[in-house]
Amino acid sequence: MKTILGYLLTPFYVLTFILLILIFHPVQMVCRRIGGYPLRKKSVDILNFFLLYSQVIMGARIRFRGFELLPQGRPLIIVSNHQSLMDIPPIVWGFRKHHPKFISKKELGKGIPSISYNLRHGGSVLIDRENGRQSILEIARLAKHIEKENYSASIFPEGTRSKTGMVGHFQHPGIAALLRSAPSAWVVPFVIDGNREFIKKGYYPLQFGISLTYTVLQPIDPAGRDPKELTEELEYKIKSALGQV
């Protein structure tokens, strides 16, 4: 029955997703023009709320856990596993009080309504993964920004989406660059569970009735920590939460 529902409801979900990003693209532009960053951010928060909870069309059960653990008045470095493009809405919505910014590959900075515009104008950085120097400089620039404003930066240290749901090896240079330029930031391990299962058979049909769980683990004060060892610890904690160790 779930398979049949997947085939029947996927077109409705996909149509909803497309309409949302098309509608909110000009909404973002107008909000940015008349209200600057604060109003544009509110429009992005609302967009990502709808992108996330539109998955109930597919019978998804969505749960956030551990957000009461987040420190207040400090910049955050959100370190998470990467399962699909749908990893972004729960970060934007869940961490909305902390103004999350993203480290994204430059290719995402154009061609996708709403999403590309937000990456270009929302304080995130676009990196060339073939240009290490440019990547580190952009990450450092983002870190200085979150340090100044007490915002948050989201990084996927696997470097790319997992095709199987199994967490890949975490690379430490990006985390190290963030820590150097945002010395007061706390590191937040964030576990994404279910997004890969949602697209287990590709984008048609999407899976019906999946449980999507987004969990903040105990934040870490990185002061005095070696970035490489810290990255290994983060990888272990996230794998453990997913039952992959």
- Which CATH number is 7's domain given? 3.40.1130.10
Q: Is the dihedral of CA 142, 152, 34, 127 positive or negative?
A: positive
Range of the domain at 47: 2-241
> 3-class secondary structure for the chain?
CHHHHHHHHHHHHHHHHHHHHHHHHHHHHHHHHHHHHHHHHHHHHHHHHHHHHHHHHHCCEEEEECHHHCCCCCCEEEEECCCCHHHHHHHHHHCHHHCEEEEEEHHHHCCCCCHHHHHHHCCCEEECCCCHHHHHHHHHHHHHHHHHHCCEEEECCCCCCCCCCCCCCCCCHHHHHHHHHCCCCEEEEEEEECHHHHCCCCCCCCCCCCEEEEEECCCECCCCCCHHHHHHHHHHHHHHHCCCC
pLDDT of residue 201: 86
Domain count, the chain: 1
pTM across the whole model:
0.95
From CA 65, how far away is CA 240, in angstroms rounded?
16
Mean pLDDT of 233-240: 97
Residues 12-29: what's their mean pLDDT?
A: 98
Instruction: Check: CB of residue 158 under 8 Å from CB of residue 167.
Output: yes
* Interval 66-73 mean pLDDT: 95
Give me the mean pLDDT over the 165-192 stretch: 95
Task: Tell me how far CA of residue 238 lies from CA of 114, 125, 159, 190, in angstroms.
Answer: 30, 24, 15, 7
CB distance 174 to 157 below 8 Å: yes
d(CA 195, CA 167): 13
Distance of CA 221 to the CA centre of its chain: 21
Nearest CA to 98 out of 140, 41, 48 is that of 41
Q: What's the pLDDT score for residue 170?
A: 95
Q: Which of 165, 243, 239 is nearest to 201 (CA)?
A: 165
The pLDDT, as a whole number, for residue 151 is 98
pLDDT of residue 225: 94
Q: Which of 21, 142, 28, 165 is nearest to 78 (CA)?
A: 142
Residue 90: band (very low, low, confident or very high) from pLDDT cuts 50, 70, 90? very high
Which pLDDT score, from 0 to 100, does residue 207 have? Answer: 95
Nearest to 61 by CA among 205, 169, 214: 214
Biggest alpha carbon–alpha carbon distance for the chain: 54
Q: Tell the burial category of 167 from Cβ atoms under 10 Å away from its Cβ (0-12, 13-18, 19+).
A: buried
